[in-house]
Amino acid sequence: MPVSPTGLQDSQRSLTQTVILAVELGLAFICLVLFSEGLLPRLFASEYDTDSSAFLRLLWLPVYGLVAIGCLWKVRSMVSLAVRMPFLILLLAVTAASFLWSLDPALTQRRSIAVVATSLAGFYLAARYDWRTLLRLMGAMWLFMAIVSLGAVIVAPGFAIMSEIHPGAWKGLWWEKNTLGGHMARAAFLCAFLFILDRPWRSVWGFAVLLCSGLVVASTSKTALLGLMLGFGILFAGWISRKGTAITISGLWTGIVLSSAFAAIMIIEPGIVLNLLGRDATLTGRTDIWSVLAGAIADRPQLGYGYGAFWQLDSMPAHRVRSATEWLVPTAHNGWLETALSVGLIGLGLLMANYVLFVARAAWLSIDNWLGIFALGVAGQFLLFSLSESNALQQNSIIWVTYVAIAAKTAISLQRPAYVPNSTPRKTVAPGHAGAGVMNSGSGLARSR
């Protein structure tokens, strides 16, 4: 039977769209791998000064270019999304303007452009892709990084396993064990969520959960292990909450009792918990840093020292911190204090407001949607790791890209119907479009933007 010209044109158009989408997803995958900061910084930069590598600085230019093109392509969606994220937009505005009062204006200007581009990458992912495509894309990226990290341990153990400090701990493609552990804890949570709800790829995500969890254990990072348990605990709580009123109330009561017991132990005898985690009362020297940084923040409380400028080797405020702690402190080891150093208490307040809004939206969405449970898990892990790592408002960081993308996607989900009845006629949407479904038919999760 001859094929009509219209049918042939539709087939060619569909093939073209599929190829374009595949190329786009491939580029997005590569960008996410670069944002993970695995391997390349180890090869081309020093641990405490990644800006010293001209190659890496040039490598980010095409990434920022792709982000700019994507934002221009989806400019209406980006503007609409920005309206829903007012505190984050104001935070980025303060960050971009901080070169005006920075200790190092040129450095701050360069790094503020980078963190704005990093944030826009998160916005673009939220505006461009549906939940299904976004989470699968991130899950695939983390599975790839986990496999390569395991391969590095096997092929080049001297490169991927620590030998001097914490001998035997795995660090994979990153500088230290805590980075590998933290990334894999977040990856295991994401893949566990996909394992529950993405039935067509359940075997893949199950393998990913086992691999990432194993890498967390091999890293020997106690904070990462807590993050892994927190993520799995939130998924378990979400499962309990869908088992009926009686089970939900029982689970909630059990959670309150256990949380209260943990809080009481931490108040009365925190040494018990710290000993179990292999920590001392100073959290491996972190509290000493924080106490000194409190004075540094008090010296310039409102606007801080300029984004990314405080920890430079020739910075006098940083020199005073290093003299007081008697070691070459590279960061605040706390995302909230790091933000206060960069953009002051004004910036810190905006970050906190954005976080509270994110949690509130996620909690509301979680009432009848598994996506809200996932968003709460992302928020919970972000908070946990931010207490001991400088992971907030960081340029070229997959942690910040993920935080912005999930916070923005949660905001979008609350603006549109989360569930679409099967009887309701739907316009056909290209796979991967932000209006497409969350998971495939039969995946266990209703369609959602």
Q: Where do we find the tokens 């920890």?
A: 311
Q: Residue 256: its pLDDT value, please?
A: 61
Q: Report pTM.
A: 0.87
* Packing angle of the helix pair 202-219, 131-155 (nearest 10 deg): 50
pLDDT, tens digit, for every residue of 107-158?
999 999 999 999 999 999 999 999 999 999 999 999 999 999 999 999 999 9
d(CA 333, CA 166): 18
Asked if the model's pLDDT at residue 411 lies above 70, the reply is: yes
Q: Residue 263: its pLDDT value, please?
A: 61
Asked if the model's pLDDT at residue 246 lies above 90, the reply is: no
Q: How many CB atoms lie within 10 A of CB 266?
A: 13
Q: Residue 9: its pLDDT value, please?
A: 56
Report angle CA 378, 310, 392 to the nearest 5 degrees.
5
d(CA 152, CA 438): 34
Helix (H) or strand (E) holding 377, with range, is helix 370-386
The tokens describing 331, both together, are 């960061």
DSSP assignments along 7-39, one per residue: HHHHHHHHHHHHHHHHHHHHHHHHHHHHHTT-S
Would you place residue 259 in the very low, low, confident or very high pLDDT band (cuts 50, 70, 90)? low
Q: Residue 438: its pLDDT value, please?
A: 47
Would you place residue 184 in the very low, low, confident or very high pLDDT band (cuts 50, 70, 90)? very high
Asked if the model's pLDDT at residue 243 lies above 80, the reply is: no
Reported residue count of the chain is: 449
Pair 114, 396: CB distance under 8 Å: yes
pLDDT, tens digit, for every residue of 13-43?
677 888 888 999 999 999 999 999 988 888 8
- Which residue in 245, 246, 267, 264 sits closest to 256, CA to CA? 264
Q: Residue 418: its pLDDT value, please?
A: 44
* Average pLDDT estimate for 219-225: 92
Look at phi and psi of residue 426 and say left if phi exceeds 0, alpha if psi is from -120 to 50, else beta.
beta
